Structure 1
Amino acid sequence: MKNIFVKGLATAALCSVLYGFNSPEVPQKQKENIEIVMNSNLSIEEKVDKILMQLTLEEKVGQMTQITLDVITKGENVFVSDEPLELDKKLLEEAIKKYKIGSVLNTANNRARTPEKWNEIITQIQKVAMKEIGVPVLYGVDAIHGTTYTAGATFFPQQIGMAATWNPELNRQGASVTAYETRASSIPWDFSPVLDMGRNPAWPRIWETYGEDVYLTSQMGIAAIDGYEGKDNDLSDPTKVAACIKHFIGYGSERSGKDRTPSYLPEIELREHYLPSYKAAIDAGAHTIMINSGIINGVPVHASYEMLTKLLKEELGFEGLVVTDWADIENLHNRDKVAVSHKEAVKQSINAGIDMSMVPYNFDFAPYLIELVNEGEVPMSRIDDAVKRILKVKMELGLFEKPAPKKGDYPKFGSKEHEQVAYNAASESITLLKNDKGILPLSKDSKILVAGPNANSMRTLNGGWTYSWQGEKTEEFAQDYNTILESVQNEFGKDNVKFASGVEYKHDGLYHEEQNIDIDAAVKAAEGVDVILLCLGENTYTETPGNLHDLYISQNQRKLAEALAKTGKPVVLVLNEGRPRLISQFEGDMSAVVQTFLPGNFGGDALADILSGDVNPSGKLPYSYPMYPNSLGTYDHKPSEASEKMEGMYDYNSSLPFQYPFGFGLSYTTYEYSDIKISSESILPSADFTVSITVKNTGKVEGKEVVQLYTKDLYASITPDNKRLRRFEKITLKPGESKVVTFELNGKDLAFIGADNKKLVEAGDFKLMIGNQSKGFKVSESISF
């Protein structure tokens, strides 16, 4: 496909005319550029080299400059755009003609636009870019669970929910739909997936991750890259986008748990738990990468030559485009105080290995960088390397040939077909954590009280990055979908369902503010019902606005839970939250607990189907749900961090008493594990081997089970982790049906990072664990690699 695409560029001049990007005023340089791309005997790399030779220093630096859309729209200032949205012709021409900018991101006024408006805006931008420079603009957005800033787009569970499906194929499908609908919005670059590790429950971006385990994250990341870019990473496919893995590296490891605060991360830990997910995505062909906004061991990552050049570009062999996060070059001066001026910040970051600056509100970056090159402070070779990476992505995306699509090119946008994938993802993500006396599923004629601040909100179902950055505009765009209350009414009948919130969020304030506290009204409404559906959790947030000081669920919500439990009615607690807010103060009073995470626009429908038994829950936790704020940890802890009671659970006096363990999730059926086998009980450290297990559905309904294989290194030169996830597979079993699940492994899967910061497989005793089955085996010799 890529060779066909290269030859197809011979028609670029004709296509430019057809799509309105050519004119008699086109500079001679553009004609020469088009002449180059018309030469079908040249590879993409050769074409990039030829175009690079014809660009001036100003045009090269412009390619490295990215501004936000508000900068070039009509409005009272650079931060506010007029509505209806229009580009300011003078500002647009200044940005491209004077500063030669090569990239634009984001939406304007922090709100979603229709596909038609996106096409109109981006087509206008591309016309000016092709006329003035001959190189198209690369437009990017954070389409992290669907096409965030496009009205009518299909929205999926946030990444933490996709991880809870433990179904990489479903994640691939979701990413593929998102890619299609992002390209339908004329946008070819998606700042997704997040491959940061969600290992601190307090971090406000944990819901943007695939959870705490590096293997699960890696597999989900590979699936996302395959969905966004296609399995062959052929970006000339007009239904695919360039993926941007983020945020390299160690983001989320902050000591405080608050966003963008310092991390103190030994290299052994960085390589063991934070690097593998990025390596997996790079090996999967991801074209671009975004950098961690934070500081590791006192050094801002944006200024780290060791991280960006030595590790990322040289050791990992990343050949794609490296882009900053929002204003992070300026932050080297403004916030992190490692650069005495903005100009010095530009020098540090570009020399460290940054290729494109997400500026985003001014053009200072460009003149500073030009000065630095002319002064010999930034070598021309560094500029050329950066611009080649940028041009290659643009060329592989087919933007030289077709800078923007035509209206109507994407008939499946927002289709029922796409919505079905989103519903499937929501239904497989929802995780049943407690079900005393089998209270769930509920009878269809049950009398139900629906209560809690999350019961009647589309905003909370979706979370942040939904129609707007913090998700506060969701209600404006999502009225055609069902809240939990509306879905339960549809499923069980309006006459059978009462509603009394008891607590409400202050939707025009900060995410954690609550109002209209009327617990007595909720208690009174419980009279005459069979069961209470209590919907608690969080309002929407992301990044720094989501920082918190107390991981316990809010005291208003706790009081509501306790009061409703005292009615004597069984309470089904439905959690709708971005991170695991602590519920240990009242969890014992709940008859059932269901974790929905942030399931998207179809989360209410999926939950109602699970509550009624139409769908058997199959989600599993992608993180360890903590019980206390001073007992935060992960399942792959060191032995001294917890005294084991049984595999996966801990004594009350343990330092890690989890409310629910990693990988946990109940079903409406039961499964029996038996006959664990390993192909050899003594393996070579680089040899392949297989592990098999028989799984049987011993219940009365069909179910989906996630078969999880863990290994335990009994003794090692570095204190081994408690256990490590090595493989998993989600299977479907009918009642009474058995399947043999076989996993293929290699001795290198047992490796850990040794004292010299290199991978090591050591000879010794190991243990396999699948379900309640375990088996010992040996590694016969040691290797380092």
Structure 2
Amino acid sequence: MNMIKLLQKMTLKEKVGQLNQRLYGWEIYEKKAGSIFLTEKFKKEVQRWGSIGCIYGVFRSDPWSGKNQETGLSIGEAKQVSSLVQDYLKKNTRLGIPTFLSEECPHGHQALDSLTTPTNSTVGMSWNPLLYQKLQQIVARELRIKGAHLGLISTLDVSRDPRWGRTEECYGEDPFLTSQFTIAAVEGLQGKPNQKIDNQHVLAVLKHFAAQGSGMGGHNSGPVGIGQREFREIHLPPMIQGIKQGAQMTMAAYNDIDGIPCHGNGQLLNELLRDELGFTGAVMADGCALDRLVEITEDPIQAAVWAIKSGVDISLWDEVFPHLETAIEQGALSEKILDTAVLRVLNLKNKMGLFEDIMAPTEDVPLLEKKLTATQMAKESIVLLKNERQVLPLSQSQLNSLAVIGPNAHSLYNQLGDYTPFKNERECSTVLEGLQQKCKENHIDIVYHQGSNIVSKLPDGISQAVRVSKEADKIIVVLGGSSARDFTTQFDANGAALSGSNEMTSGENIDLADLRIPKAQVELVKELSNLGKPMIGVFIQGRPHILSEVEPYLDAILVAGYPGEHGGEAIASILFEESPSGKLTMSIPRHNGQLPVYYNYREIAFKKDYADNPGKPDFPFGYGLSYTTFSLNELLIARNDSNALIISGTITNTGSYAGAEVIQIYIKSHQKKVVTRVKELKGFKKIQLEAKETKNFEISLDSEDLMELNERLETKKMQDITLIIECTENYFEQRIDLIK
């Protein structure tokens, strides 16, 4: 279908309707007496505009939407509702334009009967983008089989301050690693770049553009006071790679950049995103974000004109874009600008095949494939920080009894992260359940007690935990944080938690000034340590917590992030047999006063230690131990005909356990007029090796990896660098003149 001709047929009201995403999708249907009906609210919206461009969250199921296993939609019901919606629009609007159904998939689709994968902060620690791409292929199929078309996913945020509650939605503190996972997310959701999206895939809506991870003091949506160099070096690369991979939709960020809100920043959305980077798709507003522009303009008509002129195409839940009609009628806005935005939306619907009779996939991904893929990701994301006296892996032959203690040992929703749908808990595994299965297989007795809540104490909890642990050979204490919402949580208009769930320590709007492990958990660990038994700490959390108060009492420490619905099995497997291979993607501070403490700071002359504390983190970016050991040999650095650097060599597993190692390649640039960073990640490769096995490896740094900004913010080729190669027991560096 010719979209320009369709646009020419549309009335002003119908055009404005294509840009409004005002409905909370879960309010457009109701279930009564075993049947599903479209609500009057939905029908009135259709009648008002004669056209609906997008509907957000029809299939959403969580405490905010109020949709649970009974009131929400199963896969079969979701298919029915999506058909009802499209059929109604076809029969009850003049032009019959189909609507986009847009859905959140921050770590799996936020709906019933959907796989909840490890969160972004967790999958980043796997350093395995290809495995992540497989997960996103599963998510895409789950979305499409229900009738959805857009998958909203956080890929663009680079977290520079772990106090920020949305750190769990970020792959880490590094732009290169974040970019690699963005590439994987786009291809997993959309398929190969520059191809028409088939019925197995959806359009990826990349969130959030831009620089949201540098909010002042780690505050959500806080002001961002960075310069253009920091913006372009740290926060822009994921968007650049997303566009190259074929991304056609992005969501603007709530924050400002140097005083200009992203939703009203024409320099950001038009001049940079579209003109400079070549983005041809549509920009979506974040939830109720355009209402915030009214706080500045004090006039919704002016706010609507400001936003659409600045490059916003699709609104979300606000009462601003409905005023576009009035703005044009009053002469405050040219209809040509409106037409440009509408055409972007129509073209994307055409790209998705919405104007054709394309059948949704009839078969979902098999449950076993989902489970194996998600479990493998959870395993590969677990980071071993400490292993004194080789207390891990647990010896099946020398272990008769095991105590499992802690607030995160047997709480499924605590290991799933923010924006999680209601789950069938029988199909998931907590840490306790994973260990119970493992201990049953090996005839090991297991005892359990919660010990404490995340933040608050349990009456007699510590004494009871100590009591049940007295006869155990070893203690697994499962600590950390939680982003779990419940029906006591109070929500903002955009769904962010306000208050009510006092045990939340992470998630949107749950920013922390203090990253220390809560006192209730510290006291639990100290009391258990008096038993004198080997104690292993497993940390389930959405951000790096300061471990210094509990680290001395723990013989081994594993960081598991939010490992998803099969995380219990993954953690049990790592504790007993499989060697951990995760590496940190956010530095773990020693003290709150060090923040921010990211690894790739600028190497200017300054005193790095404080008068009262060291300046270095407890555990740096890229850190992670293994049960085995690795050796790099025969290293060779060469250039090919394209002037790319080729780093090759061999890696040997010199230990007695099978394991995987991440070879990390960094560059330190030696510019003459710019203060450059200490080092910057530019390449990595994860390699699986059996015990004593040797493999060849090769990592290429192409011309794009060897570019930098000069003193005038012009992109130039690097000339003088130090190349740094790191893995667990190995460190090599070499100064290279790239001109010769």
Aligned residue among 343, 346, 353 for 1:388? 343
Report the Cα offset of residue 572 of structure 1. Answer: 0.4
| Pairing partner for 1:501 from 433, 444, 450 | 450
Task: Return closer, same or farther for 1:82/1:73 CA change in 2, 3 Å cut-off.
Answer: farther
What SS is found at the alignment partner of 1:465? coil
Match of 2:564 in 1: 600
2:236 aligned with 1:278: no
In structure 1, what residue type is equivalent to 2:702?
N
Question: Which residue of structure 1 aligns with residue 588 of structure 2?
Answer: 625
* CA deviation map 1:178-203 (0-9, x unaligned): 00011112111100142210221111
Rate the CA distance shift 1:514–1:565 in 2: closer, same or farther, 3 A: closer
Residues 1:423 and 1:375: Cα distance change in structure 2 (over 3 Å): same
Matched, 1:558 2:522: yes
Equivalent position amino acid for 1:143 in 2: C
Alignment of 1:705-724 (within 5 A): 705-714=661-670, 716-724=672-680
The 8 Å contact of residues 576 and 596 in structure 1, kept in 2 or not, is answered as yes
Q: 1:302 Cα shift?
A: 0.5
**SS where residue 385 of structure 1 aligns?**
helix
- Structure 2 residue aligned with 1:93, among 27, 30, 43? 43
3-state secondary structure, aligned to 2:618: strand
**Secondary structure in 1 matching 2:121:** helix
The equivalences for 1:123-138 within 5 A come to: 123-131=83-91, 132=93, 133-138=95-100
Query: Are 1:529 and 2:493 matched, yes or no?
Result: no
Pick aligned residue for 1:452 from 393, 406, 426: 406
One of 313, 317, 325 as aligned partner of 1:359: 317
Q: Is the 8 A contact 2:168 2:507 kept in 1?
A: no
Is 1:370 equivalent to 2:334 in the alignment?
Answer: no
1:235–1:241 Cα contact (<8 Å) kept: no
Confirm or deny that 1:144 pairs with 2:102: no
The answer to whether the 8 A contact 1:74-1:82 is kept is no
Deviations 1:564-597 (A, max 9, x none): 1222111100000000111111212210000110
For residues 87 and 121 of structure 1, the distance between their equivalents in structure 2, rounded to whole angstroms, comes to 8
Does the 8 A contact of 2:380 with 2:582 survive in 1?
A: yes
What is the CA deviation profile of residues 63-89 of structure 1, one whole-angstrom value per residue up to 9, with x for unaligned ones? 0010233585368xxxxx999895444
Distance 1:665 1:652, change over 3 A: farther
Question: What amino acid maps onto 2:106 in structure 1?
Answer: I
- Is residue 72–residue 87 contact of structure 1 (8 Å, CA) maintained in 2? no
Structural mapping, 1:162-561, within 5 Å: 162-333=123-294, 337-360=295-318, 364-402=319-357, 405=360, 409-413=361-365, 415-444=367-396, 445-467=399-421, 473-474=422-423, 477-493=424-440, 496-505=445-454, 515-516=458-459, 518-540=461-483, 543-561=507-525
Cα offsets for 1:428-462 (capped at 9, x unmatched): 11111111111001122441111110000110111
The answer for the alignment partner of 1:102 in structure 2 is 53
- State the distance in 2 between where 1:256 and 1:136 align: 43
Q: In 2, distance between residues paired with 1:751 and 1:245? A: 25
Q: Letter of the 2:296 partner, please give it.
A: V
- Where do residues 62-101 of structure 1 align in structure 2 (5 Å cutoff)? 62-69=17-24, 72-73=27-28, 86-99=36-49, 100-101=51-52
Q: Is the CA contact (8 Å cut-off) linking 1:716 and 1:762 kept in structure 2?
A: no
Query: SS of the residue aligned with 1:171?
Result: helix
Structure 1 segment 571-610 matched on structure 2, within 5 A: 571-610=535-574
Deviations 1:680-730 (A, max 9, x none): 6xx99x822211232111001211111111122245421111111111111
1:512-535 CA deviation, whole Å, 9 max, x = no partner?
Answer: 566546211111222111111111
Q: SS of 1:662's equivalent?
A: coil
2-structure distance, mates of 1:85, 1:160: 40
Structure 1 residues 514 and 459, CA gap change in structure 2 (3 angstroms) = farther
Identity across matched positions, percent: 29
- Aligned-partner Cα distance in 1 for 2:707–2:44: 54
1: CA distance, partners of 2:66 / 2:467: 43
How many residues are paired up?
Answer: 700
**Within-5 A mapping of 1:105-116:** 105-106=56-57, 107=60, 108-111=65-68, 113-116=73-76
Q: Tell me the alpha carbon deviations over residues 356-404 of structure 1, each in whole angstroms, 9 at most, x when there is no partner.
A: 00125xxx44541011112222222211111111111111111112377
Q: Is this contact kept in 2: 1:162–1:171, CA < 8 A?
A: yes
**Cα distance in 2 between the residues matched to 1:340 and 1:651:** 45
CA-CA distance at 1:101 after TM superposition: 2.1
Residue identity opposite 1:483 in structure 2: T
| Worse-matched range after superposition: 525-534 or 706-715 | 706-715
Segment of structure 1 superposing worse, 169-178 or 111-120? 111-120
Q: Is the 8 A contact 1:462 1:598 kept in 2?
A: yes
Given that residues 653 and 693 in structure 2 are in contact (C-alpha distance below 8 angstroms), is that contact kept between their aligned partners in structure 1?
yes
Determine if contact 1:115/1:185 at 8 Å carries over to the other structure: yes
SS at match of 2:593: coil
- Secondary structure of residue in 1 paired with 2:678: coil
Distance in structure 1 (CA, Å) of the matches to 2:428 and 2:118: 14
CA displacement at 1:665 relative to structure 2: 1.2
> Hey, what's the Cα distance between the residues in 2 that align with 1:652 and 1:210?
32
Q: Which amino acid aligns with 1:570?
A: P
Distance 1:327 1:641, change over 3 A: farther
- Which of 675, 687, 692 is 2:634 aligned to? 675
Whole-Å Cα distance in 1 between the matches of residues 257 and 358 of structure 2? 39
Within a 5 Å distance, the mapping from 1:750-765 to structure 2 comes to 750-765=706-721
Q: Residue type of the partner of 1:585? A: E
Distance 1:492 1:303 in 2: 57
Retained in 2: the 8 A contact 1:705–1:732? yes
- The answer on whether the counterparts of 2:155 and 2:238 sit within 8 Å (CA) in structure 1 is no
Does 84-93 or 483-492 show the bigger shift?
84-93
Q: Is the Cα–Cα contact under 8 Å of residues 193 and 245 in structure 2 kept in the other structure?
A: no
* Amino acid corresponding to residue 627 of structure 1 in structure 2: R
What letter corresponds to residue 105 of structure 2 in structure 1?
Answer: A
Per the alignment, residue 44 of structure 1 pairs with: none
What is the alpha-carbon distance in structure 2 between the residues aligned to residue 498 and residue 139 of structure 1? 47
* Equivalent residue, structure 2, for 1:731: 687
Q: CA deviation at 1:635?
A: 1.1
In the TM superposition, what is the alpha-carbon distance from 1:759 to its structure 2 partner?
2.1
The worse-fitting range, judged by mean Cα deviation, of 206-215 and 413-422 is 413-422
Report if the CA contact (8 A) 2:209-2:251 is conserved.
Answer: yes
The one-letter code of the counterpart of 1:109 is G
CA gap of 1:651–1:251, structure 2 versus 1, over 3 A, is closer
TM-score by length of 2: 0.90
- How far off is 1:775 after superposition? 3.5
